[in-house]
Structure 1
Amino acid sequence: MGPLPLFNYPAWVIGLFYGLLGIIAGIMGAKYTYCIVVATHQVMGLKYSKIYEIILTGIAVSALGVGILTAFHVVPYVDAYYFMPGAGWYTLLGSFIFGFGIMLGNGCMFGMLWKSGVGYVVNWFEIIGMIIGTVIFAYPIFDGLKLGKWWNTNEFFSIANGNPVNFIPYNFGSFSGFALLIGIIFAFVILLPALWMRKNRKEFEERNKGALYQSPYFIGTIFGLIMIGSFIFAAGHFFNYLGVTTPIGLFSEYLLRPFGINLASKGDPNWFSTVPVISAFTFFILMVILGAFIYASSTGTFDIKLPSRTTNRVAEIVIAFIGGIILAIGARIAQGCSVGGFWSGLTGLSIFGLIFTVGFIPGTIAGYYAYVNLSSWAASLKRNSNNITTNNKGSYSKTLVNLIFGIIFGLLLIGIAFELPSLNSDAASIIKSSVLVQYQNVLLGWGIFSILVSFLILSIRKFVLRR
């Protein structure tokens, strides 16, 4: 049985919906430093992390939400699994590689986006590394491992993409109550480590209740509702959870096509030829960056943030760049990342999510130790040399940098919009021209919005707040 869409809407609504969702997520990510890499460093050092409490609560709430929605037939079973990635040895391998890579890169997929939006240079290079890693994957690795075949094969330790068996409640028969039961079990088990962290946190922190909205469990619930919103909105249309690796990987196409390089050539099958040039999540990832930028600019915290002067800055950037390459390869092998695999996979009550988590968590732990040792070694080289670091503060006007970033980002969106028709015409996976035009118009609108909001924030901070 095919997917059963809940709603019918034009393509421009998709661009607006995921753009707004991205802005909200970007603002929240920047405000609460939502990043698995940061959380892992905290857990490894302190045995607790408020950030991980937020992350796990968000996953638990969204998993419970999917269980409730499918149990009561608000969303059909088929929409919960039809677009879900399959699971197999490649999920385990890829998720471990991905987890290792994000620790070197200094940002999980969501963290990488909002950190880029607030000015962290290492995460800009992590994104560049990811773009290159996606190209590396698309040619020798995609074909060498025959992943196109494995992703669509039902064999030993392999569940094909979209197979209902991947949706755990499906395996218990037609009684829909099992969906609710599995959702409750997932939510409970996912919350257990969060509660363990909370117990450790209470032993080290002062015992003050604080406001409800400051609770990691309240904040995590908001993130969970963002995922549930996507699940309902896109049910039956496309992958209706959330994902970010594919649209970031597509930046390779946008950047290389002006030089006559066509990665999605119809005559040269590779990973790029299996996906369209733009998707709903393209708007999401771009607006996460913009949302984080808006938050940082509004609070006066946006800046060009180089690594600490006590570290080897060049080495830190190189490590992040290499981490970006590694995480891209891992994410593409697994067909998921910290958002599309860990969060979405567990939210979808899927075997894919369970296998991804089994590989991902050990990968982050191994990556943590690798990063600590590499960073320490690089810093020791700096201390033993006459390396002179420059102070990145005070050499420019922060307000001017805010404006420049917003304008450049807006022009980037506008440039992608103008480039889409030529990319789409040569792509193996063609988007209908009527849909493409709507996507173009929304991108143009978001680009203009980015430029205008940059001027607005500059004006408010310069002429209103300084009075």
Structure 2
Amino acid sequence: MLQMVVTGLLCGALLGFVMQRGRFCLTGGFRDMYIAKDNRMFYALLIAIAVQSIGVFALIQFGLIEFSAGAFSWVATIIGSFIFGIGIVFAGGCATGTWYRAGEGLLGSWIALFGYMFMSAVMRTGVLAPIDQSMKSVQFATNSIAETTGISVWVFIIVFVGIVLWVIIRELKKPKVAIPAMKPKRSGLSHLLFEKRWHPFFTAVLVGLIAILAWPLSEATGRMYGLGITTPSANILQYLVTSDMKFVNWGVFLVLGIFLGSFIAAKASKEFRFRMPDAKTGITSFIGGNLMGFGASLAGGCSIGNGLVMTAMMTWQGWISLLFIILGTWTSSYFVFIRPYAKKKNAVVAEKTVIT
């Protein structure tokens, strides 16, 4: 039990610290791909996937950890991922982003987090569990891309890493936008950790390394998986309601550690403060959290469980889920950001035409 608490909290705190300082927000990244045509955060995700894939399959190769891709519940993955993508825009952050932003004192994220935990629990052991199980029963027997094609997983990893390296080099060669440099208020390690802006690619490497670390630490306690947010989040609420210790595992301390690590990073960088949302934002955040919980439970993972981990494991579930999370984010962004802006712009133009 002590090992579970210590290693889970430590791994989660590292992840929360890095994500908070590096502003590793996949919701903003997916949204910016569509609205701002900025792909940097998506490229950062690909880096984290590549780093983790190399490390985890090396551990598997040496017999240090075990992994089974299982079956592929394709209908549940597609529908759930799309709904999850819609939800993260309303919630203002993905599953991990909601945890680390809650650690910054953003009360809207607390509201979204409760909705996320609540609906995840309802989908797993509540009244919606039969729907969840029924949709997941429609599946293909093989989830592993390597097993389906009969090609070694290392071929896919090498090709993927090559593509990622090409993308990185191409991106780094682009002319940099000059940003006025502010005089540092700190020096040395303190400046690097808590003041200097972290490059998303550097942050991604750290996230990938932490994702590798999560596998042996988790499996040492009997939980045969790496980073995961949805099930542990549901487990916290289920434990609080039932006091049943079966819901307490390494993943629970991982997500609590994310909150702790983000809080430490935010306090040390003077970015922590309680921020109360207005009523409309609070309601929207709660709705978004519920959509996140429903979608992630149905899809078998969130932007971390599917978008970072199952992609690194070269599974159909991971890559198809990532695609539909992005599509869901873009769809939601259109109705939340693009369409209202277009209507407002057209109204202003119409008003000016009437005046003239």
Q: TM-score, normalised by structure 1?
A: 0.62
Q: How does 1:333-348 map to 2 (within 5 A)?
A: 333-348=298-313
**CA 1:193–1:239 in 2, change beyond 3 Å: closer, same or farther?**
farther
CA contact (8 A) 1:48 1:197 kept: no
Match of 1:206 in 2: 178
CA distance in structure 2 between the partners assigned to 1:243 and 1:375 by the alignment: 35
C-alpha deviation, 1:302, in angstroms? 1.0
Structure 2 counterpart SS, 1:144: helix
SS in 2 for 1:48: coil
**The 10-residue stretch of structure 1 (36-45 or 317-326) with the greater mean CA deviation from structure 2:** 36-45
Say yes or no: does 1:186 pair with 2:176. no
One of 208, 214, 219 as aligned partner of 1:224: 208
Counterpart pick for 2:264 among 294, 301, 305: 294
Whether the 8 Å contact between 1:32 and 1:51 is mirrored in structure 2 is: no
Query: Which residue in 2 is equivalent to 1:252?
Result: 237
Task: Give the C-alpha shift of residue 55 in structure 1.
Answer: 2.4
In structure 2, what is the equivalent of residue 316 of structure 1? 281
Match of 1:449 in 2: none
Q: Please list, as runs of the form range in 1=range in 2, the aligned pairs for 1:29-178 lying within 5 A after superposition.
A: 29-70=19-60, 72-75=61-64, 79-81=66-68, 86-138=72-124, 139-144=126-131, 146-147=133-134, 151=136, 157-159=139-141, 165-171=142-148, 178=152
> Where does structure 1 lack aligned partners over 5 or more consecutive residues?
1-10, 160-164, 259-263, 265-274, 308-312, 380-467
Q: Measure, in 1, the Cα distance between the counterparts of 2:8 and 2:113.
A: 20
Against the structure 1 CA distance between its residues 18 and 145, is the aligned structure 2 distance closer, same or farther, given a 3 Å change threshold?
closer
Native 8 Å contact 2:218 2:224 kept in 1:
yes
Which is greater in Rg? 1
User: Given the superposition, is the C-alpha separation of residues 80 and 257 from structure 1 closer, same or farther in structure 2, using an over 3 Å criterion?
Assistant: closer
Q: d(CA) in 2 for partners of 1:298 and 1:207? A: 24
The answer (yes or no) to whether the contact 2:95–2:292 under 8 Å persists in 1 is no
Aligned residues of 1:94 and 1:331 also touching (Cα < 8 A): yes
Matched, 1:14 2:4: yes
Deviation at 1:254, TM superposition (A): 4.0
User: Which amino acid is 2:260 matched to?
Assistant: L
Q: Does 1:330 align with 2:330?
A: no
The answer to whether the 8 A contact 2:236-2:252 is kept is no
For the 8 Å contact 2:19–2:203, the answer to whether it is kept is: no
Does the CA-based 8 Å contact 1:96-1:362 persist in structure 2? yes
Mapped to 1, the partners of 2:51 and 2:268 lie a distance apart of 30
Deviation at 1:69, TM superposition (A): 3.7
Supply the RMSD in Å over aligned alpha carbons. Answer: 3.3
Task: For 1:239 and 1:127, locate their aligned partners in 2 and report how far apart those are by CA, in whole Å.
Answer: 25
How many residues align? The count is 328
Q: Hey, what's the Cα distance between the residues in 2 that align with 1:283 and 1:85?
A: 27
Output the CA distance in 2 between the equivalents of 1:57 and 1:27.
18
Partner Cα separation in structure 1 for residue 169 and residue 73 of structure 2: 29
Code of the residue aligned with 1:238 in structure 2: it is R
Looking at structure 2, the residues matched to 293 and 213 of structure 1 have their Cα atoms a distance apart, in angstroms, of 18
- Quote how far apart the aligned CAs of 1:364 are: 1.2
Superposition deviation, residue 361 in structure 1: 1.3
Q: How far apart, in 1, do the equivalents of 2:19 and 2:113 lie?
A: 17
Summarize deviations over 1:11-62 as a string: whole Å, max 9, x none: 4222211211111111111111111112233333332254333322111211
Verify the 8 A CA contact 2:117 2:230 in the aligned structure 1.
no
* Structure-1 separation of matches of 2:338 and 2:149: 47
CA 127–207 in structure 1, closer or farther in 2 if over 3 Å, else same: closer
CA distance in 1, matches of 2:49, 2:320: 16
2: CA distance between counterparts of 1:36 and 1:276? Answer: 31
Q: Structure 2: any 5+ residue segments left out of the alignment? A: 181-191, 345-356
| Preserved contact between residue 63 and residue 187 of structure 1 (Cα < 8 Å) | no
Q: 1 or 2 for the larger relative contact order (CA 8 Å, sep ≥6)?
A: 2
Equivalent position amino acid for 1:167 in 2: S
> What is the Cα deviation at residue 324 of structure 1?
0.3
Distance in 2 of aligned mates of 1:227 and 1:63: 9
User: TM-score, normalising length from structure 2?
Assistant: 0.80
